[in-house]
Amino acid sequence: MKTFVKLMTLIVLLSLVAGCGGTPAATQPPAVTQPPAATQPPAAEVPLSAAEQWAKDNGVGPYQPASLDWAAIEAAAKKEGSVTVYANSSKFEKLLDTWNELYPDIKLEGGDTDGISTKMQAEQEAGNVVADVWFNSDGHILYGLFAPNQWIWSFVPDGYSNPAVTKERPFAVERHSVDVWGYNQEIHPEGCPITNWWQLVDPSLAGKVFIENPLADPSTTAKFTLIVDHADDMAVAYKEFYGKDWTTDPAAAADAFGVAPENAGYLFIRKLAQNQPVLEPGGDEVDTAFASIGMDKTAEPGYGFTGWDSYDGTLNGELAMAPCLTIKPVIGILKSNYVAIANKAPHPNAAKLFIKFVLEQDGFKPWNKVGTFPGNYNLTAWDGAPNITEIKVWSSDDAFAWANNSKVRDFFAAELLSAPGD
């Protein structure tokens, strides 16, 4: 019986296999379904400000294209018909003839303008923009106020070269100029009698040092701020001249109000302010005060902090000014003059054309004389010009000037008021 049951079970199994047509397939485990990867929502695009949109629409600032179609720019400029430039130089007028020959269909307006930054700020804040182009040397205001407020945009034509112009400092430099200590070479034919800045604050030169008024002009204040910025150089020059540290100077002590110079730069400013400096309204007046032709040869005419380019007047027989080129710690201060396009300029294409023009040799011509260097290093400077990188000067520091101008101006003003005899 048991044998029969086993036999029947075997027959049933064989029948099932035969009915299925083969051996049963191995059972696969169900596929594991991975959850879909989490997707990040696309980053929200930061909308452009109205000023940024204008800059983008007009291809200026960070939106300037890599290549420029000057034929199209000129055609658009002709339709605009004019360009208004606020410049801080009377030599601007010498550009007119050359410009009119090149672009008779585009009127060049503006010119030498007082209070450029004040005027342009008022126009931007009122939304009534007149000036197309900033052509000015107040770099501390350009970088400290105008650029952060998007009141101004850079534009750099192709063919321009200056290593100081970078992504972080994008505004084109039209020219560099140097302010120096000048003397009267008619009275001192042997050369500059002084060799160190600290001689200028000696009581023997009281009332004999002539400077533009730093209380009235922020660009002049910035020159004084640069002295503070280079206090270490002034400290070295003090020790070379006096043979001791600047901190030993009686004027380095706190005054009656508890104010003491923070460094050798401030000490120089204090001693200069208390030595009866003559504050003039402009550079021409400074030159006239110490470097006029035919001054009394029995009296010391003094010294003036003036543009190196004033020596051009000496070459033309109009002045007796000569620069003190061996004085320590430096011969002077290197300033930069910038060109840029106003936000919402009414004539943006004509503005681009003007900037291209003034950064070329013909545009630089009115300023191409002794003591001035082209901001475009591809241009040719005056005959006999030294390499700009080899002259010992302090370069303008716009960020430092913006942060410290008010403090330096107030210090100078207070020292003037506390000068002996005042």
User: Are residue 76 and residue 124 in the same domain, yes or no?
Assistant: yes
- Give the tokens for residue 392: 């010992």
Helix (H) or strand (E) holding 112: strand 107-112
Domain range for 138: 52-176+335-385
Instruction: Identify the residue with better confidence: 139 or 419.
Output: 139
Mean pLDDT lowest among 21-35, 161-175, 181-195, 325-339: 21-35
User: Are residue 368 and residue 407 in the same domain, yes or no?
Assistant: no
CB-based contacts of 33, cutoff 8 Å, min separation 6? none
User: Are residue 119 and residue 196 in the same domain, yes or no?
Assistant: no
Q: Please check whether residue 315 is in contact with residue 382, taking contact to mean a CB–CB distance below 8 angstroms.
A: no
Q: Is the pLDDT assigned to residue 14 strictly greater than 90?
A: no
- pLDDT score of 378: 96
Structural domain contains residue 34: no
User: Are residue 182 and residue 172 in the same domain, yes or no?
Assistant: no
- Beta carbons within 10 angstroms of residue 285's beta carbon: 16
Tracing tokens 């200026």 back to the chain, one arrives at 60
User: Are residue 196 and residue 330 in the same domain, yes or no?
Assistant: yes
* Residue 354, CA atoms < 13 Å, CB-side half-sphere: 36
Which of the four pLDDT bands, split at 50, 70 and 90, describes residue 27?
very low
- The mean pLDDT of 340-347, rounded to a whole number, is 98
| Span 92-122, pLDDT tens digits | 999 999 999 999 999 999 999 989 999 999 9
Q: Please check whether residue 89 is in contact with residue 282, taking contact to mean a CB–CB distance below 8 angstroms.
A: no
Please tell me the total number of residues recorded for the chain in this structure. 422
* Residue 234, CA atoms < 13 Å, CB-side half-sphere: 27
User: Are residue 121 and residue 201 in the same domain, yes or no?
Assistant: no
Structural domain contains residue 31: no
CB-based contacts of 62, cutoff 8 Å, min separation 6? 55, 170
User: Are residue 362 and residue 257 in the same domain, yes or no?
Assistant: no
Which of the four pLDDT bands, split at 50, 70 and 90, describes residue 40?
low
Q: Is the pLDDT assigned to residue 31 strictly greater than 50?
A: no
Query: Domain of 169: which CATH number?
Result: 3.40.190.10
Note the pTM of the prediction, 2 decimals. Answer: 0.84
Report the domain count for the chain: 2
Q: Is the pLDDT assigned to residue 337 strictly greater than 90?
A: yes
Burial class (CB in 10 A: 0-12, 13-18, 19+), 69: exposed
User: Are residue 341 and residue 251 in the same domain, yes or no?
Assistant: no
User: Are residue 225 and residue 320 in the same domain, yes or no?
Assistant: yes
Which of the four pLDDT bands, split at 50, 70 and 90, describes residue 239?
very high
Structural domain contains residue 1: no
User: Are residue 188 and residue 318 in the same domain, yes or no?
Assistant: yes
